[in-house]
């Protein structure tokens, strides 16, 4: 459950509890209030009711008529019920004529029936002509209290709803920037270094946004510095490899090649002269060692700087790599398909050698650890980086199991490929693919202008 929802529920529950408690407190005081009103009204009413017939009445009938008129005139009386009876017990009039409506459960809970109080009325001759029965009426007070309770409860509920809406709305508005902050953190975690937060016009949240922006700027600067240093290391490493390869090829290789015919000549002469037979075995061993040294030197030269890049270009060099059988220890052969649309042949010296080495690393890892049946290498020259720059996206996918972290002849693992991508201003992602995660997919995205790095700081 999200924080906004939890806070809204807390506010709703608190305001609901407030309304319920307010209502209960009102109901708890109803009985005491009703008893106080009734006890105060009864003596007052008994005092006001006459105990003699009106002096102007000429006879008993007229006296009863005037008493009936008196009772009907106080029909709106509250807290008591007045009945006028003739001397023989006949009911002549009552006030109020109709009881006020009270919920039955409330009346049964709080009403306390009390006996009526009788007051005699004497006629002109001093004989009782009628009597009043005055009964305390809890229903009147309960009806008033119930109406007040409904009115107050509705008022409190309305105010509570307004306060709840105001609090929830203010809380939601105050927490709204959290979504932007979460998205910015996610973007920063995904490597989008330009992620920034705007001003929210909220002092507390603006402080967080400013701290985040300073942190993002510092990370961006550190990442740029790291990229610059890695780029220098990559360039230095490639230059060193290229220089060493050229030195070995130009300085050492000619002498090793020149020794071969000399050793063969020595072997042939030893074969024609019996006195040199013991030297012939040494000459043949020397020839074998020279052949092994030359083969090893070719492998070293290929690892230092792939000669196919200079003789064939990147596209044909990759095609030849895909067609080659796996080396010893790299597992069974797999079908390697190269999907390279367009008429490109290369992207620049630094980018070409980096692409060649990383594709080589991906193939080696897949063959050695995944043992796939098929490997697909896809080149997309229409890709874009997050900042909109044109980029090359290389996808290497296989249907094998998850690979380990082996190293290719170039000495690059997943970490090395990631660092090389960062140095070139690109990105690297590798992980399981598909719903079951049984295959492996590597995606490399490199800017097409990687051979033109920014100026040194």
| pLDDT on residue 394 | 93
Residues β-bridged to residue 374: 335
- Distance of alpha carbon 9 from the chain centroid: 19
- Indicate the domain borders of the chain: 3-172, 203-302, 306-447
| pLDDT on residue 330 | 64
| pLDDT on residue 411 | 41
Cα separation, 262 vs 348, whole angstroms: 42
Q: Which two tokens stand for residue 229?
A: 């240093």
Residues, the chain, total?
457
The residue with greater pLDDT, 342 or 300, is 300
Residue recorded with tokens 């020397």: 286
Per-residue model confidence as pLDDT tens digits over 232-286: 888 888 888 888 888 888 888 888 888 888 888 888 888 888 777 778 788 888 8
Q: What is the mean pLDDT of residues 35-52?
A: 75
| pLDDT on residue 445 | 92
Cα separation, 80 vs 133, whole angstroms: 10
Per-residue model confidence as pLDDT tens digits over 188-217: 887 777 888 998 888 888 889 999 999 999
Q: Provide the CATH topology of domain 306-447.
A: Heat Shock Protein 90 (3.30.565)
Taking the CA atoms of 83, 86, 91 and 96 in sequence, report the sign of the dihedral they define. Answer: negative
Cα separation, 425 vs 453, whole angstroms: 9
Other C-beta atoms within 10 Å of 202: how many? Answer: 14
| Range with the poorest average pLDDT among 105-109, 164-168, 282-286, 413-417 | 105-109
Cα separation, 300 vs 288, whole angstroms: 18
| pLDDT on residue 457 | 40
Provide, rounded to the nearest whole percent, the portion of the chain with pLDDT above 70. Answer: 84
Whether the predicted pLDDT of 404 surpasses 60: no
Q: What is the mean pLDDT of residues 80-91?
A: 86
Q: How confident is residue 405, by pLDDT bands cut at 50, 70 and 90?
A: very low
| Range with the poorest average pLDDT among 6-15, 293-302, 315-324, 434-443 | 434-443
């Amino acid at each position: 459950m999200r924080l906004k929802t939890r806070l809204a529920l807390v506010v709703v529950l608190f305001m609901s509890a407030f309304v319920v408690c307010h209502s209960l407190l009102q109901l708890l005081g109803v009985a005491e209030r009703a008893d106080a009103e009734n006890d105060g009204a009864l003596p007052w009413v008994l005092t006001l009711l006459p105990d003699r017939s009106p002096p102007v009445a000429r006879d008993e009938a007229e006296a009863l008529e005037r008493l009936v008129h008196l009772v009907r005139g106080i029909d709106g009386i509250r807290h008591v019920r007045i009945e006028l009876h003739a001397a023989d017990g006949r009911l002549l009039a009552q006030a109020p004529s109709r009881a006020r409506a009270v919920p039955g459960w409330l009346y049964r809970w709080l009403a306390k029936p009390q006996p009526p109080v009788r007051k005699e009325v004497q006629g002109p001759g001093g004989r009782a002509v009628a009597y009043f029965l005055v009964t305390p009426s809890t229903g009147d007070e309960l009806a008033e209290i119930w109406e007040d309770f409904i009115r107050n409860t509705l008022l409190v509920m309305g105010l509570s709803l307004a306060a709840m809406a105001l609090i929830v709305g203010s809380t939601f508005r105050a927490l709204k920037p959290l979504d932007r902050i979460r998205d910015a953190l996610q973007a920063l975690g995904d490597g989008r270094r330009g992620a920034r937060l705007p001003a929210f016009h909220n002092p507390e949240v603006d402080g967080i946004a400013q701290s985040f922006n300073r942190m993002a700027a510092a990370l961006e600067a550190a990442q740029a510095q790291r990229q610059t240093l890695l780029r220098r290391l990559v360039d230095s490493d490639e230059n060193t490899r290229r220089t060493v390869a050229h030195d070995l090829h130009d300085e050492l290789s000619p002498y090793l090649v020149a020794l071969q015919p000399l050793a063969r000549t020595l072997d042939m002469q030893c074969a024609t002269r019996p006195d040199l037979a013991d030297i012939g075995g040494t000459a043949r061993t020397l020839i074998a060692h020279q052949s092994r040294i030359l083969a090893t030197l070719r492998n070293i030269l290929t690892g230092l700087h792939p000669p196919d890049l200079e003789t064939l270009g990147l596209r044909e060099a990759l095609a030849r790599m895909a067609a080659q059988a796996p080396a010893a220890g790299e597992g069974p052969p797999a079908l390697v398909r190269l999907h390279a649309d367009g008429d490109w042949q290369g992207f620049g010296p630094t980018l070409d050698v980096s692409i060649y080495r990383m594709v080589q690393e991906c193939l080696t890892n897949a063959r050695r650890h995944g043992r796939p049946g098929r490997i697909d290498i896809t080149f997309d020259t229409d890709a874009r980086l997050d900042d909109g720059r044109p980029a090359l996206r290389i996808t290497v996918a296989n249907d094998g199991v998850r690979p380990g972290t082996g190293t290719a002849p170039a000495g690059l693992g997943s970490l090395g490929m990631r660092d090389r991508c960062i140095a070139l201003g690109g990105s690297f992602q590798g992980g399981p693919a598909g719903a079951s995660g049984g295959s492996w997919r590597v995606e490399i995205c490199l800017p097409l202008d990687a051979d033109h790095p920014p100026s040194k700081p």
